[in-house]
Structure 1
Amino acid sequence: MELQYIQPGRPMQDGYIDWFNRTFRENIVDVYLFEDITQVQILAEEWMQDYI
């Protein structure tokens, strides 16, 4: 068995990571206007509880 790493800058080689990045961006980053990092952390934790 040998580890195979994805090429740098090629997230589409790992479908799960590509899905995570897309859905997180669509559901959190593109929807809210954040006032501070704490708000981002709270929303990200809530999102992860629902989707992961």
Structure 2
Amino acid sequence: MFVFRGIPEHIRSDNGPEFTAKAIRKWLNRLGVKTLFIEPGSPWENGYIESFNGKLRDELLNREIFTTLTEAEILIEQWRRE
């Protein structure tokens, strides 16, 4: 994503392990990207993303069983363009 859009000033996220892992935090720090974490149990602080994730899950992920990564990429891209 950074290759296509450039390095962001910051990333806002919940406190999930994919964003709190030491390796990820070190990598972001090396790139100069600040991390902004929402308060635990406060998904409304990141409402846009929570809404997107819910729609993706309801409209696509819960309806499909992907057999390959390529299949997932194609179907997600088709969903994104609709």
TM-score by length of 1: 0.70
Answer 1 or 2: which has greater strand percent.
2
- Matching residue of 2:63: 31
Query: Where do 5+ consecutive residues of structure 1 fail to align?
Result: none
The one-letter code matched in structure 2 to 1:41 is E
Q: Render the CA deviation track for 1:10-45: whole Å, top value 9, x for unaligned.
A: 443122101100000111110011111111100110
Query: Where do 5+ consecutive residues of structure 2 fail to align?
Result: 1-9, 13-35
| Number of residues of Structure 1 aligned to a counterpart in Structure 2 | 48
The one-letter code matched in structure 2 to 1:7 is I
3-state SS in 2 of match to 1:30: helix
- Matching residue of 1:40: 72
For the pair shown, the structure with the greater C-alpha radius of gyration is: 2
| 8 Å CA contact 1:11, 1:18 repeated in 2 | yes
Q: Percent identity between the aligned chains?
A: 27
Residue 21 of structure 1, aligned match among 53, 63, 76? 53
